[in-house]
Amino acid sequence: MPVSDHQLTQAWSEVLRLSEVQPGQAVTILTGAATHPQTLRAATMAAQAAGAIVSRIDLPPVNADKALSRDALAYLGETPLTGNPAAIAALKASDLVLDLMTLLFSPEQIDILESGTKILLAVEPPEVLVRTVPTEADRARVLAASTKLKKAKTMHVTSEAGTDVTFQLGEFPTICEYGFVDEPGRWDHWPSGFLFTFANEGGSNGTIVVDTGDIVLPQKSYTTAPIRLTIEKGYARAIEGGIDAQLLSEYMATFRDPEAYAMSHIGWGLQPRCHWSTLAMYDKEQTIAMDARAFEGNFLFSLGPNNEAGGQRTTACHIDIPLRNCTVSLDGEVVVRRGKVLDGGAA
């Protein structure tokens, strides 16, 4: 159901409270051609009500000649901030940037964060934002899980569909997403509620089976038949199956970049207010499918860049695939069993 401006403004007010926005702080709202007008309106009102000094930077779209869809995550690397030092300087001078445009996996975002500016991404439809307002309990749950992932040296993932893959860990940090930014230089995404890391370079080996009904992103489609990926020394060396496998292979091949096939981030979902089934309710251009990435108990793996965690891989191709019904083990300890998180539930 649609939401009222009042509901959405209340939701933004809570997120800004959790993000510790103080009177007199500079909040800059970054917008683009696809920014939802109600989201912009509510974010502006909430930031003003919090006493912030509010500015807006609106930038034109890029990459139309390269991307194969309108999805903001269909082509990474170059953003409307690329080569725009004036806009970058303004964002660095802000205490908080509300990203209603999508800067993910860009060197400009990393540069802005290193200045101490906080960035909160929020591009899902207003009703999704209202349903998934983050809580302090979300933060506590994700951080509790991160204590195990940070210490782990191996992650082993299996499923009855045929997944059996091992990741060596330790070279890259653990990244926690819980929907708000409560520390200088922090980035987060509303909605979220999951954690991930990146396997060591060359440290991924085994088989991943994307089962019928699992979701491939940014295609935003449920698979109709299994896709089998053979992972060797950190790369998907083979993608086999029916039409879904062919569609994925052909899409990735258009980037003409062998680094597109490298393993990227790996982790699991912890958000009970996000749902596997939600994607079926939306037109593909309405959402970037954060429900699919965050729903409780999924194992989310990706292919492509790792510069978000300090790596050197900056390929423009990024594939996210959340799997259901997987068992995830860290150094032999099961943390997710057949799609059920074993932490006792939401805090």
The pLDDT tens digits for 217-239 are 999 999 999 999 999 999 999 99
Q: Could you tell me the CATH number of the domain that includes residue 113?
A: 3.40.50.2300
Verify that 101 and 242 share a domain, yes or no.
no
Verify that 151 and 83 share a domain, yes or no.
no
Verify that 300 and 206 share a domain, yes or no.
yes
What pLDDT sits at residue 346?
54
Average pLDDT on 198-203 reads 96
What pLDDT sits at residue 311?
82
Verify that 166 and 301 share a domain, yes or no.
yes
Q: How many domains does the chain have?
A: 2
Verify that 89 and 229 share a domain, yes or no.
no
Verify that 187 and 294 share a domain, yes or no.
yes
Helices (H), 81-187: 85-92, 107-114, 126-131, 136-151
Residue 346 within any structural domain of the chain: no
Return the CA Rg of the chain.
19
Average pLDDT on 82-100 reads 96
pLDDT per position as a tens digit, 6-15: 999 999 999 9
Q: Would you say residue 347 has pLDDT above 50?
A: no
| Percent of the chain's residues with pLDDT above 90 | 86
Q: Which residues pair with 196 in a beta bridge?
A: 175, 267
DSSP 70: S
Task: Identify the burial level of 206 via C-beta atoms within 10 angstroms of its C-beta, where 0-12 means exposed, 13-18 middle and 19 or more buried.
Answer: middle
pTM value?
0.94
Decide if 72 contacts 288 (C-beta within 8 A).
Answer: yes
Average pLDDT on 90-106 reads 93
Q: What does DSSP say about strands 118-121 and 187-189: parallel, antiparallel, or unpaired?
A: parallel
| Percent of the chain's residues with pLDDT above 70 | 97
Verify that 207 and 58 share a domain, yes or no.
no
Verify that 46 and 183 share a domain, yes or no.
no
Domain span holding position 34: 5-131
Verify that 125 and 205 share a domain, yes or no.
no
What pLDDT sits at residue 106?
80
Q: Tell which residue, 263, 264, 337, has the closest CA to residue 296.
A: 337
Verify that 172 and 119 share a domain, yes or no.
no
* Residue 245, Ramachandran bin (φ over 0: left; ψ between -120 and 50: alpha; else beta): alpha
What mean pLDDT, rounded, does the chain reach? 95
Q: Would you say residue 105 has pLDDT above 80?
A: no
- Give the position of tokens 């800059």: 28
Verify that 51 and 117 share a domain, yes or no.
yes
Q: Would you say residue 267 has pLDDT above 70?
A: yes
What pLDDT sits at residue 11?
98
pLDDT per position as a tens digit, 116-141: 999 999 999 999 999 999 999 999 99
